[in-house]
Structure 1
Amino acid sequence: MSLSDKIRGKELIQLIFDLLSSHTSIRKYKNSQLSKEQISELISVAQHAASSHFVQAYSVVWVTDEQIKKKIGELSKNMIQMETAGAVLVCCVDFQRLHVAGLMNDTTIVTDSAENVLVGTADVAIFAQNLAIAAESKGYGICYIGGVRNKPTEISELLDLPERVFPVFAMTVGVPDEQHEVKPRLPVEAILHENGYDSEKYHSLLSAYDKTMEEYYETRGSNQKSTNWTKSMADFLKVPRRTHIKGFLASRGFTWK
């Protein structure tokens, strides 16, 4: 490899690192719609994500109908995103396709297990992150919308999702019409454990991180507030959330066997 090739290689690596480190959630777009060719290209690239045992247990519903889009916005409480996004994609765990694959081989496959919920959720999440990176590399903004789990039954009916398929989140993609500062992440030391889990380090690390987040929230360009990370997490997680999900998954054929 020549010196110029090595330099170009290092520049490419730095560009990738910069892209991954620059992510912000975009919630307002310039209402420039993506074409079928553009969506197909992004999906094709995203499909090269890793998949447990290559089951590829995910599907995407691209919502182009304005009435359906509006209804999903209402159900997920994300109206502005749905109204302005260049594309609305509902990302689903999908074992229906695998069920058909089993029938083609005179086999009834087992889908209703906790393991398959984990496998499918991991598959769709890894796929979607590939999709997000592909979109951002093209200059688009994206946002994950977990709000589809507020009303998963209604959204499943709206999208004609069959048994063995359920929505995990939506993703909006489009030309950004807003700019945000990158949120400071937890320090690496809080995430990385060596040879065993260490809970003792959290008090000092999280106290320092709280100060970082307090400064970020107070000085960012919009939606300024006075709080920190541990307080916001304590408030967010002090009660069970979306307790309907277990029953909803059972209605989709996942009974946690």
Structure 2
Amino acid sequence: MNEVISTILNHRSLRHFEDQPLTDEQIKTIVSCAQAAPTSSFVQAYSIIGVKDQERKRKLAEIAGNQEYVAINGHFFVFCADLYRHQLIGEHHQKEVLPSIQSTEKFMVALIDAALAAQNAAIAAESMGLGICYIGGIRNNLEEVKQLLKTPERVIPLFGIAVGYPTKLTGQKPRLPFEHIYHEDEYEQDQEVYLEQLKEYDELISNYYRDRTGGKRTDSWTEQMAAMLEKQSRMYMKDFVQKNKMDLR
């Protein structure tokens, strides 16, 4: 197993960091690795906002549900879907690009581009001995995040990544079984097989929590998912996206 694969397979979300900033060279390396990710048709429909200002980080931490590690870390990156520059390109070349920019397809391209770039950044950071944690909680209030980061129309902050020197290592949560994720030639639709795989995974996750908490927690993965999905969260998202002129046509 080479070092790249070892780094990827060793991933775990870390939430306790030293209050020590990354160097400018480390930040540039991580962003350069993000930019090396594949991008659909070379569109490069994303931007990354690095947040150094401690007051901004504190406000982002509050928005994200008072997550302390959003404020205390080595650096906080916010990944954005970005079609603003493409609007300017159309204006510069006097081409009618808005119908394309406002399509669901280009919105998906921007989301995918940002996600690919972010994962490259995450792997790069971890390969440097740093810890990372993705932060979706900034979507709790994107209007406030946009004002805080001064993003223009056609730019949607999607998630953050807290990066830093870890002070506490956590266990690695077992993922779904390979056979449940990987389908050969066609999607497995035998519900008995499907549910049996989930049952086995539930037992694995329950045992993981039991061992980790000394028996204080034993819930299964499907119990977690059912409880989470029963609660409607961030239901404002469609209106927010359309308000920011990504109309999803």
Provide the TM-score with structure 2 as the length reference. 0.94
DSSP-derived class of the 1:106 partner: coil
Letter of the aligned partner of 1:171 in structure 2? I
Question: Deviation of residue 241 (structure 1)?
Answer: 2.4
Distance 1:32 1:71 in 2: 19
1:147-201 alpha-carbon deviations (Å, 9 max, x no partner): 0110001100111100000111011000001111111011110011112111222
Question: Deviation of residue 93 (structure 1)?
Answer: 0.3
Contact 2:60 2:71 in 1 (8 A): no
Letter of the aligned partner of 1:210 in structure 2? D
Is residue 47 of structure 1 aligned with residue 39 of structure 2? no
Question: Deviation of residue 239 (structure 1)?
Answer: 3.6
Question: Deviation of residue 237 (structure 1)?
Answer: 1.0
Distance 2:187 2:132 in 1: 33
- Name the CA shift for 1:252/1:224 in 2 (closer, same or farther; >3 Å): farther
> 2:203 — aligned with what?
211
Matched ranges for 1:6-21 at <5 A = 13-21=1-9
Question: Deviation of residue 223 (structure 1)?
Answer: 10
> 2:223 — aligned with what?
231
> 1:82 — aligned with what?
70
Is residue 132 of structure 1 aligned with residue 117 of structure 2? no
Root-mean-square deviation (CA, aligned residues, Å) is: 1.5
**5+ residue gaps, structure 2:** none
**5+ residue gaps, structure 1:** 1-12
State which drifts further: 100-109 or 240-249.
100-109
- Name the CA shift for 1:231/1:35 in 2 (closer, same or farther; >3 Å): same
DSSP-derived class of the 2:234 partner: coil
Stretches (4+) displaced over 3 A: 221-224
DSSP-derived class of the 1:166 partner: strand
Is residue 242 of structure 1 aligned with residue 230 of structure 2? no
Distance 1:211 1:16 in 2: 30
Letter of the aligned partner of 1:127 in structure 2? A
Distance 2:225 2:214 in 1: 20
Matched ranges for 1:163-182 at <5 A = 163-182=153-172
Letter of the aligned partner of 1:124 in structure 2? A
Identity in percent = 37
Question: Deviation of residue 212 (structure 1)?
Answer: 0.5
DSSP-derived class of the 1:151 partner: helix
Provide the TM-score with structure 1 as the length reference. 0.91
- Name the CA shift for 1:222/1:175 in 2 (closer, same or farther; >3 Å): farther
Distance 1:155 1:138 in 2: 29
State which drifts further: 231-240 or 87-96.
231-240
Matched ranges for 1:110-189 at <5 A = 110=98, 111-189=101-179
